[in-house]
Amino acid sequence: MGAEPGCPFGGLHRIAVNSDNVRPTTVTDLDLAPFLSRNPLHVSVTVTSVHDPSHREALWELEDAFERGDLISVFGRCTVSYEGRAASDLGAGDRLLVLKPDGAALVHTDEGRQPVNWQPPGSEHHAAIREGRLRVRSTRSNPDETLTVQFSDVHQLSAMAVTGGRDLTLHGSEEDLRTRILDRPDLVEPGFEPKETERPSSAGPMDVFGVDADGTPVVVELKRRRVGPDAVGQLARYVRALREELGIEEGSDDDSGADRNETAPAIRGILVAPSVTDRAAERLADRGFGHVALDPTPAE
Amino acid sequence: MGAEPGCPFGGLHRIAVNSDNVRPTTVTDLDLAPFLSRNPLHVSVTVTSVHDPSHREALWELEDAFERGDLISVFGRCTVSYEGRAASDLGAGDRLLVLKPDGAALVHTDEGRQPVNWQPPGSEHHAAIREGRLRVRSTRSNPDETLTVQFSDVHQLSAMAVTGGRDLTLHGSEEDLRTRILDRPDLVEPGFEPKETERPSSAGPMDVFGVDADGTPVVVELKRRRVGPDAVGQLARYVRALREELGIEEGSDDDSGADRNETAPAIRGILVAPSVTDRAAERLADRGFGHVALDPTPAE
DNA sequence: TGCTCTATATCGATC
DNA sequence: GATCGATGTAGAGCA
């Protein structure tokens, strides 16, 4: 690249000064805009970036990025307020605001996997300058919710045109567990025969419905990980619904397990999960349900 | 600010050229490092930013930012793989990687509130150059999990030292609902008297325990929003546990509601929530429980 | 650490 | 749009 005498990089690149904070912005495109241009730094075809922009600059860049459908990242000092299903306020601090073209908005601090405030996809982003601050507002309806981020300082704003590559392949989900059991029903118990998946009932669809070696109906509930009492309740609802549907007399529902064998429920329930908590095990025993320890994917 | 003849901004600011992609990097600090320095753009005391850096530059900046405990944002083209409780792979594409000093890592595409891949806080970030790509790896134990992001191109890397402002005040939570009920027990029903919150039981702590106008024990389950059948099951567990604990004969647990009044349970259950689903309403009726429609915060 | 439960949960399928 | 169940749920509180 060519360098002029006394200013080695004065040729292709421009340096603009923000009047309010006297910081440089470098522009690498080739157009010869006026010297004190506020144009942003275009570092490549896909990324736009400005450093310590004035609110006005930041506003322009945001609106352009909205227009382009860019993925946007803003570092800055801001306050955040949310009002909707709940309401929250967050005092001034340095944070990262991420704005997505699908309407999602995320406010991240330096801690936590979860954003401290957010707005789900489908929201609408708007930017404006109000009372000397850059205000970014994201709103949605049903439910009506508003997220407002007010920047006193924008340290860094970047926007990238994102293309493709959204095809995540995930292994080890509950679906893998179902596949595994349908492939090898004996993993549930010898003689188990799956008849139907997602079989409808008044309590909702059950994961796997089948019969055991004796021909007794079996409801199987699948969980990809260690489960608590709620999963037992879910299985119980399916079993109860099926009993009602088939007009089968209910087994005793109390804790007098002495005559469990005599009053064995005409429909069995089996919970398939890697493991269960103590409380869940108790409830399984109360209900007369079985537990099969099984992972979504085979151990190595 | 002073401008030298022929190069108006050659004084305080340096422009460095990356040998591999011939793009400028501006440095605004005042130290007089060698001309072709690879130093990043320090736009303020708190933010570091580099544009289209070489992998080596990006690596240096990442390691410095890790050292400083910065909040980091990286735009670039990358592949992502995860292995742990489950496993996943994601092909090449433009994404945003956020690295937090508490160990959290987030990979965001242009869609969704949720990161496409992530690592929770407590993980350890490591960066390296492998096979011509910049590899950022985040690992944790218990469970053992690894997230690997491999950049073929880094478009933009920013890091910010984040300070303070983590005190979120949230209103409209279940705690608000509890406060509201303790303040005005008549909102549950006239004559209701709260006795205890978080009262322990073998099924876990119940939200509110009290007595009604007749002195009958009442278990109150609170939900801040519309609820499904799971909440009824939860309430039922508390009521059952309390019956057992107090040695009270169980009310009938089936659907023969004809003699509901005669065998009325000696312990009542009330679900307080803005509304309930149809299925939940059925189960409430089955169990003989009540429902009180109430919001966490009063309607305007 | 393990267990239980909440969440502005989010997300997808299904009706 | 409402409902229901899965999630690599995350996160908090407590034993």
Is the preceding peptide bond at B265 cis, omega within 30 degrees of 0? no
Final residue of a domain: which of A103, A136, A160?
A160
What six digits make up the tokens of A47? Answer: 């990324």
Give the closest residue to C4 (Cα–C1′). Answer: B204
Distance from CA of A267 to the nearest CA of B (A): 16
Distance from CA of A196 to the nearest CA of B (A): 23
User: Does residue A234 lie within any of the structural domains?
Assistant: yes
User: Does residue A300 lie within any of the structural domains?
Assistant: no
> d(Cα B136, Cα B127) in Å, to the nearest integer?
4
How many domains are contained in chain B?
A: 2
Question: In the structure, what pLDDT confidence band is assigned to residue B3 with cuts at 50, 70 and 90?
Answer: very low
Backbone angles phi, psi at A97, to 5 degrees: -105, 125
Contact flag A47-B47 (C-beta cutoff 8 Å): no
For a pLDDT cut of 90, what percent of chain A falls above it?
73
> d(Cα B92, Cα A168) in Å, to the nearest integer?
11
Residue B63 belongs to a domain with what CATH number? 2.70.180.20
Q: Is there a single domain that holds both residue A144 and residue A257? A: no
Q: Which of A255-264, B6-15, B25-34, B159-168 has the lowest mean pLDDT?
A: B6-15
Contact flag A168-B113 (C-beta cutoff 8 Å): no
Q: Which of A21-25, A41-45, B77-81, B229-233 has the lowest mean pLDDT?
A: A21-25
Contact flag A52-B41 (C-beta cutoff 8 Å): no
What 3-state class would DSSP assign to A70? coil
Distance from CA of A66 to the nearest CA of B (A): 12
pLDDT value at A171 more than 80: yes
Question: Looking at residues B8-22, what average pLDDT do you find?
Answer: 31
Q: CB distance from A285 to chain B under 8 Å?
A: no
User: CB-CB: which of A22, A91, A164 is closest to B165?
Assistant: A91
pLDDT given at position A86: 95
Mutate to test the interface with B, among A1, A4, A9, A157 (most CBs of B within 10 A): A9
Q: CB distance from A281 to chain B under 8 Å?
A: no
pLDDT given at position B247: 80
Q: Is there a single domain that holds both residue A124 and residue A227? A: no
What 3-state class would DSSP assign to A34? coil
Quote the distance between the C-alpha of residue B114 and its chain's center: 9
Question: Looking at residues B73-101, what average pLDDT do you find?
Answer: 97
pLDDT given at position A44: 55
pLDDT value at A12 more than 90: no
pLDDT given at position A130: 97
Strands of chain B, DSSP E: 14-17, 24-27, 41-42, 47-51, 71-83, 87-99, 105-108, 117-119, 124-130, 133-140, 145-160, 168-171, 193-199, 206-211, 217-222, 268-273, 290-293
User: CB-CB: which of A24, A156, A172 is closest to B86?
Assistant: A172
Q: Is there a single domain that holds both residue B206 and residue B143? A: no
Question: Looking at residues B230-249, what average pLDDT do you find?
Answer: 90
Size of interface A-B (CB pairs under 8 A): 275
User: Does residue A264 lie within any of the structural domains?
Assistant: yes
For a pLDDT cut of 90, what percent of chain B falls above it?
73
Is the preceding peptide bond at A274 cis, omega within 30 degrees of 0? no
* Predicted confidence (pLDDT) per residue in B53-68, tens digit: 999 999 999 999 999 9
Contact flag B71-A116 (C-beta cutoff 8 Å): no
User: Does residue B298 lie within any of the structural domains?
Assistant: no
Question: Looking at residues B247-273, what average pLDDT do you find?
Answer: 62
Q: Is there a single domain that holds both residue B114 and residue B210? A: no
A103 CB below 7 A from strand C atoms: no
Q: Is there a single domain that holds both residue B71 and residue B115? A: yes
* Predicted confidence (pLDDT) per residue in A47-75, tens digit: 999 999 999 999 999 999 999 999 999 99
What six digits make up the tokens of B78? Answer: 């990358």
Report strand pairing: A117-119 vs A206-211: unpaired
pLDDT value at B10 more than 50: no
Q: Is there a single domain that holds both residue B153 and residue B229? A: no
> d(Cα B239, Cα B284) in Å, to the nearest integer?
12
Structure-model confidence comparison of residues A266 and A95, the more confident one: A95
Give the closest residue to C9 (Cα–C1′). Answer: A114
Q: CB distance from B11 to chain A under 8 Å?
A: no
Question: In the structure, what pLDDT confidence band is assigned to residue B298 with cuts at 50, 70 and 90?
Answer: confident
Which residue in chain A has the smallest CA separation from B117? A168
Distance measured from the CA of protein residue A144 to the C1' of nucleotide D13, in angstroms: 31
Q: Which amino acid is at B275?
A: S
> d(Cα B138, Cα B119) in Å, to the nearest integer?
7
Q: CB distance from B143 to chain A under 8 Å?
A: no
Distance from CA of B97 to the nearest CA of A (A): 11
Q: Is there a single domain that holds both residue A138 and residue A180? A: no
pLDDT given at position A248: 76
Tell me how many helices (H) and strands (E) chain A has. 4, 17
pLDDT given at position B166: 80
User: Does residue A6 lie within any of the structural domains?
Assistant: no
Final residue of a domain: which of B99, B127, B160?
B160
B175 CB below 7 A from strand C atoms: yes
> d(Cα B238, Cα B219) in Å, to the nearest integer?
7
User: Does residue A298 lie within any of the structural domains?
Assistant: no
Q: CB distance from A111 to chain B under 8 Å?
A: yes
pLDDT given at position A265: 57
Residue A278 belongs to a domain with what CATH number? 3.40.1350.10
pLDDT given at position A42: 52
Q: Is there a single domain that holds both residue B117 and residue B183? A: no
pLDDT given at position A46: 84
Contact, A163 vs B75, CB < 8 A?
no
A206 forms bridges with which residues in the sheet?
A199
> d(Cα A107, Cα A114) in Å, to the nearest integer?
9
User: Does residue B195 lie within any of the structural domains?
Assistant: yes
Q: Cβ neighbours of residue B184 under 8 Å, at least 6 residues apart?
A: none
Contact flag B13-A17 (C-beta cutoff 8 Å): no
Q: CB distance from A275 to chain B under 8 Å?
A: no
Torsion of CA A67, B26, B164, A130, to 10 degrees: -40
- Computed over every residue of chain A, the mean pLDDT equals 84
Report strand pairing: B87-99 vs B71-83: antiparallel
> d(Cα A32, Cα A26) in Å, to the nearest integer?
13
Going from the C-alpha of A164 to that of each of B110, B135, B216, the distances in angstroms are 9, 21, 62
Q: Is there a single domain that holds both residue A119 and residue A256? A: no
Q: Is there a single domain that holds both residue A184 and residue A133? A: no
Question: Looking at residues A82-91, what average pLDDT do you find?
Answer: 96
Report strand pairing: A87-99 vs B168-171: antiparallel
Contact flag B35-A8 (C-beta cutoff 8 Å): yes
Largest CA distance in chain A: 101
Question: In the structure, what pLDDT confidence band is assigned to residue A246 with cuts at 50, 70 and 90?
Answer: confident
Q: Is there a single domain that holds both residue A183 and residue A148? A: no
Mutate to test the interface with B, among A4, A15, A61 (most CBs of B within 10 A): A15
Q: Closest nt to A88 (CA→C1')?
A: C8
* Predicted confidence (pLDDT) per residue in A13-34, tens digit: 223 333 333 333 433 333 333 4
Final residue of a domain: which of B108, B137, B160?
B160
| Protein-proximal nucleotides of chain D (any atom < 7 Å from a CB) | 1-11, 14-15
Q: CB distance from A187 to chain B under 8 Å?
A: no
Please classify residue B1 by burial: count the beta carbons closer than 10 Å to its beta carbon, then call 0-12 exposed, 13-18 middle and 19+ buried: exposed
User: Does residue A33 lie within any of the structural domains?
Assistant: yes
Backbone angles phi, psi at B289, to 5 degrees: -90, 160
> d(Cα B99, Cα B83) in Å, to the nearest integer?
18
Q: CB distance from A17 to chain B under 8 Å?
A: yes
Which residue in chain B has the smallest CA separation from A297? B86
* Predicted confidence (pLDDT) per residue in B108-165, tens digit: 999 999 999 999 999 999 999 999 999 999 999 999 999 999 999 999 999 999 987 7
Q: Is there a single domain that holds both residue A183 and residue A111? A: no
Question: In the structure, what pLDDT confidence band is assigned to residue B250 with cuts at 50, 70 and 90?
Answer: low
Q: Closest nt to B142 (CA→C1')?
A: C1
Q: Which of A255-264, B86-95, B119-128 has the lowest mean pLDDT?
A: A255-264
> d(Cα A225, Cα A244) in Å, to the nearest integer?
30
Q: Give the DSSP H/E element, type plus range, for residue A50.
A: strand A47-51
Question: In the structure, what pLDDT confidence band is assigned to residue A82 with cuts at 50, 70 and 90?
Answer: very high
Contact flag B52-A47 (C-beta cutoff 8 Å): yes
Question: In the structure, what pLDDT confidence band is assigned to residue B26 with cuts at 50, 70 and 90?
Answer: very low
Distance measured from the CA of protein residue A152 to the C1' of nucleotide D9, in angstroms: 34
> d(Cα A273, Cα A187) in Å, to the nearest integer?
12
Q: By residue range, what is the domain housing residue B99?
A: 14-160
> d(Cα A61, Cα A75) in Å, to the nearest integer?
14
Contact, A277 vs A227, CB < 8 A?
yes
